[in-house]
Amino acid sequence: MLSKSQARLFFLTATAGFSGVFLFLTVDTIRQVPERSNEDAMTEQVVRGKEIWEKNNCMGCHTILGEGAYYAPELTRAYVRRGEDWLKIFLADPQAMYPGQRKMVQYDFSEQEIDDVIAFLKWIGEIDTNGFPREPDLALPVQTAAASTSSPGPAAPAIFSTVCVGCHALGGQGGVVGPALDGVGMRYSEAELRAWLADPQSIKPGTTMPNLTLSDADLDGLTAFLMAQK
């Protein structure tokens, strides 16, 4: 049994000790914030993106760093899992990437605003969150198409691996929104493929394949790559 004075001493030392540990850990956490949040990388563009994020109440549907509403995907790692090309197309026309599904709001952002939002998402994505969220919940197969196909030919343009694989599979890897592209070079001529990629609606009105407003260089690269899928 502790005597009264021993009990008091025990209480006081333990309280002081644990308060000390608590204070130390608090200060230590706060000290790490600038480094873990890449404070230096917080440019004006990032701040503008955050303002757009707040003004439009994106958190009314999304969570970021775990905070917000659970209607739509968690976006802390949106930049990491989707990449810039995909996000650009998606923010300009969300439905293009999710034909026929529940819809993200079409905001009619200007190109500048889209870049700002992407800069914000990129910065958020680079925060060291101790591994949160655990797994990218909507991960794309990051494997490049060239590696997943056995047929020789030109390497897949970057945009193929960042955008097209979100909807199309090749060699068993990729999305299932559109048809798998294995053997597509046998089904179409070069001219047909180019015309399709340039403007799917003009070839097949009502199709859910989006017009991705591809540059001439991307059209050339993609057509050559698809023609080699035989």
Pick the closer one to ligand HEC by CB: 16 or 68.
68
Query: Among 122, 162, 166, 171, which residue sits at the site for ligand HEC (rule: CB under 6 A)?
Result: 166
- Asked if residue 118 binds ligand HEC (CB under 6 A), the reply is no
Query: Among 45, 48, 61, 68, which residue sits at the site for ligand HEC (rule: CB under 6 A)?
Result: 61
Pick the closer one to ligand HEC by CB: 73 or 133.
73
* Minimum distance of ligand HEC from residue 62's CB (angstroms): 5
**What would the x/- binding string for ligand HEC be over residues 179 to 218, using CB under 6 A?**
x-x--x--x-----x--xx------x--xxxx-x------
- Asked if residue 219 binds ligand HEC (CB under 6 A), the reply is no
- Asked if residue 122 binds ligand HEC (CB under 6 A), the reply is no
Task: Tell me the C-alpha to C-alpha distance, in Å, between residue 28 and each of 14, 40, 42, 114, 166.
Answer: 21, 19, 22, 36, 41
Which residues in this chain contact ligand HEC in the complex, by CB under 6 A? 52-53, 56-58, 60-62, 71-73, 75, 78, 81-82, 87, 90, 94, 96-99, 101-105, 107, 117, 138, 159, 163-164, 166-168, 177-179, 181, 184, 187, 193, 196-197, 204, 207-210, 212, 222, 226
